[in-house]
Amino acid sequence: MNSIREARTPRPAFNLAAVLGARQRRRTLIGLLIMSVIFVVAVLIFLMDPLRRALRDEVELVALFDSAPSIGRGAAVWIAGHEAGRVETLEFLPLAGDTSPRLALLLRIPRDRLPMLRADATVRISSASVAGDPAVDILPGNADAPPLQPGDTLRAEPTLTRAELRQRVARVRAASDSLRMESRPLAAAARERMIGLARVQTRFARVQAGLDELSRTIDQSPLTAFTASDDVGRALERLRLAGGVVADARGAESGMQRTAAAFQPFLAHSAELRARIDSLMARAGPNGTLARLQSDSAIAVALRRTRVQLDSLIADARANPFRYVF
The per-residue pLDDT for range 217-245, each reduced to its tens digit, is 655 554 444 444 555 555 556 656 655 65
User: Exposure pattern of 97-125 as b/e (b: 16+ CB <10 Å)?
Assistant: eeeebebbbebbbeeebbebbbeebebbb
Q: Which pLDDT belongs to residue 226?
A: 46
- In terms of Cβ atoms closer than 10 Å to its own Cβ (0-12, 13-18, 19+), residue 306 is buried
Q: Which pLDDT belongs to residue 167?
A: 83
* 112-to-57, 80, 122, 145, 162 alpha-carbon distances in Å: 9, 15, 19, 18, 39
Q: Tell me phi and psi for residue 112, to 5 degrees.
A: -70, -10
Predicted TM-score of the model (pTM): 0.38
Cα 64 to Cα 117: distance, rounded to the nearest angstrom: 16
Q: Which pLDDT belongs to residue 38?
A: 92
Question: Which parts of the chain have pLDDT scores under 70?
Answer: 1-20, 53-54, 96-100, 158-161, 204, 207-208, 210-303, 314, 317-326
Q: Which pLDDT belongs to residue 179?
A: 74
Amino acid at 296: D
Cα 52 to Cα 42: distance, rounded to the nearest angstrom: 16
